[in-house]
Amino acid sequence: MAPVAENWTILSVASGIVCCTVLYILILSFYRIYFHPLSKYPGPALWAASRFPSAYYLTKGVIPYKTLELHNRYGPVVRLSPNELSFILDAAWQDIYGKPAARNTQLMKDQNQFLTHENGVHGLLGEPDDSKHARMRRNLSHGFSEKALRDQEPIIKSYVDLLIQRLHENSKEPVDVVKWFNFITFDIIGDLTFGESFECLKTSQVHFWVQSIFLHLKNLVFMGLLSSYGLVPIVLFFLPQSIKAKEQRHKDFTKAVLKKRLETSTSRPDFLSLAQKQLNQPQGITFDELVPTTGPLIFAGSETTATLLSGVTYYLTTHPSIYAKLTEEIRTAFKTEDEINIVSVNNLTYMLAVLSETLRIYPPAPASFNRVTPPEGCMVAGHFVPGNAIVAVNQWSANHSTLNFTRPWDFVPERWLGDAEFKDDKGKVVQPFSVGPRNCIGRNLAFAEMRLILARLVWNFDLVLEEKSKGWVENQDVMMVYLKPPLMVKLNPVVRG
Ligand code: HEM
């Protein structure tokens, strides 16, 4: 008899625990949907009740697409999880990422979104403290000025020359342009950061450092998610030795090349020239801060520009009349290829519109960059948001919303050239480089690279998309960046008389 009684006791305790848990979840969900400070904001009840739906779509790589669906259904402000709002209004940019006069402070970066620190020391991209961030940024911004860019032009040009040479050598067969655009952008940023390139163009191969940063992406997104539940130490403990070894090799390499660059005395106008002069001084940046700065900087500076170049190639090769107009502009604006430089490309009005339209329809940073409201709350685009809530503008959904654009799914450069059909477009909602004190430091360089490379590419080749790459842009998963399949293009060299 005793074991039966014991079994009953265990069973009733277990069912008691289950009932209490279910009751707790129900009460919590009820509170979140109807009484939570964000409950007045629209969104699906399940998303308001729990973080799981948004976490599920995030890990599936489709959260920007899902966010657009929700904005289409619920309007310009949507509740994505119990404590999170998404905005697609142009005024939200300044209020979330800037320092609006009414507040005069920045909103803090959500520290649980991506894990970017190295043993607790943050780099430029992840630093939560505004004054530390400003100090680091002052030490680096020198290398990103207009003046620095002019001085860097010979370095940039040497890589563009090598890219064009390599593409000519490989033009007998279709090439994967995603790969080649990654090669050149990583080589340029590697050179301007570490004083030596990754030699991707030279060897026609991906350097292991570049490869491992791509592998690292999914981990970064998952770890960010887990960190909000305090689970990172447990996951790190169980992480397979092989992954830990790869991460370690990557870190060791970064430290070694960084050390080498900082020990080299050079007058090259690169990103670290001022940082080197003031290294480890109170107004300067420390070596430990540079380690977690340089990895994300190289990634942020190369993958984004390569994405934009891949996107523009796709849209041009699938829109023959736009491509013809662009070809006409580039091939008549210059007498020789040598005339194409970072100043002369700024006069190519149609090309600039083509690039603006690509930045809208295929923004290289499609993920949201989350910020947290201050404890007292703040106004965002005319809406009061209570304290400690996560807020963001998701570029991909803002740029594809009919609330902001006429025919948002159509690739139409003319919308940036004053075409009357698009007079109601909300162009200011397109902020591919973000705004405010933490906006993109590499904006000038990115524009110079994309304009120069596109103009030289179109000058040299007639581009034809391979059948198998039709629809390339559809259904790309987003893990912070797009996980892009190969984009196969036949490059037919232009024959000039
Ligand atoms: C098409 C090209 C590019 C796009 C669309 C882009 C986009 C962005 C965006 C949206 C941010 C803000 C991220 C946030 O709020 O957390 C950002 C920051 C940043 N970008 Fe870019 N970027 C591009 C190219 C570059 C280049 C070429 C570099 C450097 C060589 C660069 C380096 C950085 C750095 C270091 C930051 C962090 C700035 C800070 O926290 O102060 N990016 N970028």
Report yes or no: 441 and 271 within 8 Å, Cβ to Cβ.
no
Residue 271: phi, psi to the nearest 5? -70, -25
Residue 327 sits in a domain of what CATH number? 1.10.630.10
Burial class of residue 278, CB neighbours in 10 A (0-12, 13-18, 19+) = middle
Q: Which H or E run contains 207? A: none
Residues 126-173 pLDDT 10s: 899 999 999 999 999 999 999 999 999 999 999 999 999 999 999 999
- Number of structural domains, the chain? 1
Atom of ligand 1 nearest to the CA of 192: 30
CA distances from 266 to 116, 147, 262 (A): 29, 18, 9
* Secondary structure string (H, E, C) spanning 15-56: HHHHHHHHHHHHHHHHHHHHCCCCCCCCCCHHHHHCCHHHHH
Tell whether ligand 1 has an atom less than 6 A from the beta carbon of residue 189: yes
Atom of ligand 1 nearest to the CA of 364: 5
Tally helices (H) and strands (E) across the chain. Answer: 18, 12
Q: Would you say residue 371 lies in a domain?
A: no
- Look at residue 460 and tell me if it is in a domain: yes
How large is the C-alpha radius of gyration of the chain? 25
Cα of 221 from ligand 1 centre, angstroms: 18
The boundaries of the domain holding residue 485 are 110-357+436-493
Question: End-to-end alpha-carbon separation of the chain, Å?
Answer: 102
Structure tokens at 454: 């596109």
3-state secondary structure of 278: coil
**CA atoms of 474 and 190, how far apart (whole Å):** 31
Q: Is 96 in the pocket of ligand 1 (CB under 6 A)?
A: no
Q: What is the pLDDT along the chain (497 residues), one digit of tens a residue?
A: 456 777 778 888 888 899 999 999 999 999 999 999 999 999 999 999 999 999 999 989 999 999 999 999 999 999 999 999 999 999 999 999 999 988 889 999 998 776 666 678 899 998 999 999 999 999 999 999 999 999 999 999 999 999 999 999 999 999 999 999 999 999 999 999 998 899 999 999 988 888 877 767 777 777 777 777 777 777 777 777 887 888 888 888 889 999 999 999 888 889 999 899 999 999 999 999 999 999 889 888 899 999 999 999 999 999 999 999 999 999 999 999 999 999 999 999 999 999 999 999 999 999 999 999 999 999 999 999 999 999 999 999 999 999 999 999 999 999 999 999 999 999 999 999 999 999 999 999 999 999 999 999 999 999 999 999 999 999 899 988 999 999 999 999 999 87
pLDDT tens, position by position, 38-80: 999 999 999 999 999 999 999 899 999 999 999 999 999 999 9
Q: Alpha-carbon distance 88 to 27, whole Å? A: 31
Q: DSSP assignment of 400-457, as one string?
A: T-TTT-SSTTS--GGGGTT-GGGTT--GGG--TT--STTS-TTHHHHHHHHHHHHHHH
Atom of ligand 1 nearest to the CA of 395: 10
Q: How far apart are CA 79 and CA 49, in angstroms?
A: 10
* Closest approach atom of ligand 1 to CA 293: 35
On whether residue 233 sits in a domain, the answer given is yes
- For residue 395, being part of any structural domain is answered with no
CA-to-CA distance for 123 and 111, rounded, in angstroms?
13
Q: Is 20 annotated as a binding residue?
A: no
Is residue 131 domain-resident?
yes
Alpha helices in 170-207 (DSSP H): 177-194, 200-203
Q: Is residue 220 part of a domain?
A: yes
Q: How far is the CA of 307 from the centre of ligand 1 (A)?
A: 13
Mutate to test the pocket of ligand 1, among 440, 443, 452, 453 (most ligand atoms within 8 A of CB): 440
Amino acid at 288: D
- Phi and psi torsions of 350, nearest 5°: -70, -40
Distance between CA atoms of 208 and 324, rounded to whole angstroms?
Answer: 39
442 CB under 6 A from ligand 1? yes
Q: Is residue 216 part of a domain?
A: yes
- Phi/psi for 461 (5° steps) reads -135, 150
Q: Nearest C-alpha to atom 30 of ligand 1 is from which residue?
A: 301
User: Whose Cα sits closest to atom 37 in ligand 1?
Assistant: 125
Question: Residue of the nearest CA to atom 11 in ligand 1?
Answer: 440
Q: Is the CB of 114 under 6 A from ligand 1?
A: no
Which pLDDT belongs to residue 242?
80
Distance of CA 169 to the CA centre of its chain: 31
336: helix, strand or coil: coil
Angle at 164 between CA 162 and CA 167, to 5 degrees: 110
